[in-house]
Structure 1
Amino acid sequence: MKTKTVKAYGTESAKTPLHPLDIQRRSLLPNDVEIDILYCGICHSDLHSIHNDWGGTTYPIVPGHEIVGRITKIGTEVTKFKVGNLAGVGCIVGSCGHCEHCHEGEEQYCDEGWTVVFNAPDKILGGQTYGGFSQAIVADANYVLKLPATIDLAASAPILCAGITVYSPLKHWNAGPGKKVGIVGIGGLGHMAIKIAKAMGAHVTVFTTSPAKMETAKELGADVAVLSTDAGQMATQSKFDLILDTVSARHDVNMYLNILKVDGSIVLVGLPNEPLEVGVFNVVNGRKSFSGSNIGGIAEAQEVIDFCAEHGITAQIELIRINQINEAFRRLEKNDVKYRFVIDMKSEGM
């Protein structure tokens, strides 16, 4: 298969800073589109992957899974898009297409395993897939998302991961009017969860360990902000239908299980490096659930893009140049960002 060389930023080891690389993109298949990447968000998953925190990273790695840009070429069988359309690519760029989960629009649970946009076996070109820290990407149109022409492109990039990651469980667990929803953590995921849950009509309480973020939570739309390190404040909380846990570090989930109503659920969407401990009586008493949720399928990703456009929801971002990427990752390790870094892929260095 013919290939095209494009510039990218990646690394050959967990200890090496990201730096310019040349990578290969495939020539267009009949149902492919080529996207000129304009912006790409930075996620904690990118950080974990380049450091091989979860194991399984294959180097060289080019991260990035919150990709937005403009279509420059389309395959001969593509009808969904036209050249010049704005489009996005999130975490999923392939799945089997025929299992029950794919038929139900939940490609993230594909029986045969879905293809991640970066650091996954490339079933078409061979080798590994490469992500959005690059000039361009070629993807099957079935896994490409439509973006409204009026959207703030840079601030909408995080919807493709952070947005869908919180939207999917909020929808699945029926967040809405009359429901009391808690959000643990105010970061890339948490700040989007606040906005989306509130737009769904839920009563939203935010739990944070940072006194400085108490007022921020309300500015983002929360009805109540609680300092989770304050035992007195925590003692007044109860009867939550759903608590969405967005924290990607080791923490005590039992304190949140104890404030769920009967049949309430905690849903973990953060990805801590270390195991979390759950006290058995904290779930047995009250028939409570400790669950998890993994991004969302393509149809649901399109749904959250349209939902956010309708409600005027975007991420709060810090736009950076590509040559600031290593400093951005250092700051991300310290949670020193409000609330998502997004790379201008047309900046100096690309």
Structure 2
Amino acid sequence: MVADEKFEGWCGLDRDSVHGKMVWQQFQPKPFADDDVEIAISHCGVCASDLHTLRSGWRETPYPCVVGHEIIGKAVRVGRNVTHVREGDRVGVGGQAGSCLQADCEHCADRDENHCPKALATYGSIYPDGSKTFGGFARYNRTPGHFVFKIPDAISSADAAPMLCAGITVFSPLKYEGCKGKKVGIIGLGGLGHFGVLFAKALGAEKVVVISHTSTKKEDAVKMGADDFIATSESPQWAIANQKTLDLIVSTVSTPDMPLAQYLLLLKVRGTYIQVGAPEEALKGFNMFSIIAKNLKIGGSIIGNTEEIKEMLQIAADAKVKPWVQERPLKEANDALLDMEAGKARYRYVMVNEDYTGQ
């Protein structure tokens, strides 16, 4: 089966589209190439990045834009240069749709494609030929095969979809920083944060502590496997009471008003703080002595490379990692975005294409 020219999806036409005003219409994907895979989409997760992009929060978005970068579906057309995927395979695409893949690129040569200077996002980016990348709030997706992944049979499509962005975004720093045997803090219990708990446990963390504004999600955190919970608004001395108790913190929140200096108090000497939530505004300053006094390391992480995604999917299958998802029909995409912005997701919305033609 070939999707011919029937590429339709929820298009954001301007910044106002983030307010539930995406429009269902046709769009023009990149020309099909021998390195590409065409996917009939069955599921697509809803990510905060979709909101940031629709309102041009991080940078100016090249409208029209189809968001959604947690894509699962069936490969219906496979370029002759693609060897790891066959027509009929269940596959997925995450947050990246391209990089230079040149041998003289230190990042691509090391399979660290997500840091390539020419990396392309799954939506809102421009290919070298001038065509655009379009995401998964649509019937079909066309992406270079290097960034298309086979999905293990043990993981359902609804569960696999959010792993391809939210999951890998926290899996990568947890694995890279060696969370096994460590006491790990996860700031924020949303789509990203709940994966932080699940993967920290799967990777062998000694203890997982959720740090949230209130205790409303404490019961959920415990069910996910968290060992402790800190509600910052309910105890004025929360940072002092829990100082020097964590080896590693992964922050998933994206507010510029985060109390970074207090978060750093929670770390032990030579502890590590990794930021994965991406605020649209600059973070307020803090006293550098917070870092110096304990030899702390502050870093950031963005999605993950292709090898990490494959490893994450296999670990998720082997460890039976089960995300908390809420399935919604693709026709409700506008409402789903509004509900996500309002903080109603528990903990990841996944769009289900009611007209899926890949069966």
Same-fold call, TM cutoff 0.5: yes
Aligned counterparts of 1:27 and 1:10: Cα–Cα separation in 2: 19
Please tell me whether residue 292 in structure 1 is matched to residue 293 in structure 2: no
Match of 1:314 among 314, 322, 339: 322
2:336 match = 328
Aligned counterparts of 2:178 and 2:95: Cα–Cα separation in 1: 24
8 Å CA contact 1:28–1:74 kept in 2: the answer is: no
Match of 2:240 among 223, 235, 242: 235
What amino acid sits opposite 2:350 in the alignment?
V
Match of 1:108 among 114, 122, 146: 114
8 Å CA contact 2:151–2:160 kept in 1: the answer is: no
8 Å CA contact 1:187–1:339 kept in 2: the answer is: yes
Match of 1:122 among 109, 127, 130: 127
Please tell me whether residue 273 in structure 1 is matched to residue 273 in structure 2: no
How far residue 26 of structure 1 moved from its aligned partner, in angstroms, is 4.0
Give secondary structure in 2 for the equivalent of 1:226.
strand
How far residue 233 of structure 1 moved from its aligned partner, in angstroms, is 4.0
How far residue 55 of structure 1 moved from its aligned partner, in angstroms, is 2.3
TM-score, structure 1 normalization = 0.94
Please tell me whether residue 245 in structure 1 is matched to residue 248 in structure 2: no
Aligned counterparts of 1:40 and 1:314: Cα–Cα separation in 2: 17
Give secondary structure in 2 for the equivalent of 1:170.
helix
8 Å CA contact 1:227–1:234 kept in 2: the answer is: no
Instruction: Report sequence identity in percent.
Output: 34
Please tell me whether residue 200 in structure 1 is matched to residue 206 in structure 2: no
Instruction: Give 1:84-233 correspondences, 5 Å limit.
Output: 84-98=88-102, 99-110=105-116, 112-124=117-129, 126-177=130-181, 179-202=182-205, 203-229=207-233, 230-233=235-238
What amino acid sits opposite 2:353 in the alignment?
M
Per-residue CA distance 1:257-296 (angstroms, 9 max, x = gap): 1121111111000011222233211111111122111111
Aligned counterparts of 1:127 and 1:25: Cα–Cα separation in 2: 7
2:35 match = 31
Please tell me whether residue 255 in structure 1 is matched to residue 228 in structure 2: no
Aligned counterparts of 1:287 and 1:4: Cα–Cα separation in 2: 57
Instruction: Give 1:7-26 correspondences, 5 Å limit.
Output: 7-16=8-17, 17-26=21-30
What amino acid sits opposite 1:186 in the alignment?
L
How far residue 235 of structure 1 moved from its aligned partner, in angstroms, is 2.8
Aligned counterparts of 1:232 and 1:214: Cα–Cα separation in 2: 19
Aligned counterparts of 1:295 and 1:83: Cα–Cα separation in 2: 27
How far residue 157 of structure 1 moved from its aligned partner, in angstroms, is 0.3
How far residue 347 of structure 1 moved from its aligned partner, in angstroms, is 5.0
Match of 1:339 among 322, 342, 347: 347
Aligned counterparts of 1:347 and 1:75: Cα–Cα separation in 2: 25
Give secondary structure in 2 for the equivalent of 1:71.
strand
- Unaligned 5+ residue runs, structure 2? none
Aligned counterparts of 1:199 and 1:215: Cα–Cα separation in 2: 19
1:302 match = 310
Give secondary structure in 2 for the equivalent of 1:163.
helix
Per-residue CA distance 1:75-100 (angstroms, 9 max, x = gap): 22322111111100111111111211
8 Å CA contact 1:183–1:194 kept in 2: the answer is: yes
> Judging changes above 3 Å, is the alpha-carbon distance between structure 1 residues 21 and 240 closer, same or farther for their aligned structure 2 residues?
same
8 Å CA contact 2:29–2:132 kept in 1: the answer is: no
8 Å CA contact 2:29–2:133 kept in 1: the answer is: no
TM-score, structure 2 normalization = 0.92
1:5 match = 6
How far residue 27 of structure 1 moved from its aligned partner, in angstroms, is 4.9
Aligned counterparts of 1:243 and 1:73: Cα–Cα separation in 2: 42
Aligned counterparts of 1:55 and 1:29: Cα–Cα separation in 2: 29
- Unaligned 5+ residue runs, structure 1? none
Give secondary structure in 2 for the equivalent of 1:161.
helix
How far residue 212 of structure 1 moved from its aligned partner, in angstroms, is 1.2
What amino acid sits opposite 2:201 in the alignment?
K
> Judging changes above 3 Å, is the alpha-carbon distance between structure 1 residues 106 and 278 closer, same or farther for their aligned structure 2 residues?
farther
Give secondary structure in 1 for the equivalent of 2:298.
strand
Per-residue CA distance 1:314-334 (angstroms, 9 max, x = gap): 321111112212221112112
Q: Calculate the aligned-residue CA RMSD, in Å.
A: 1.7
8 Å CA contact 2:30–2:131 kept in 1: the answer is: no
Q: How many residues align?
A: 344
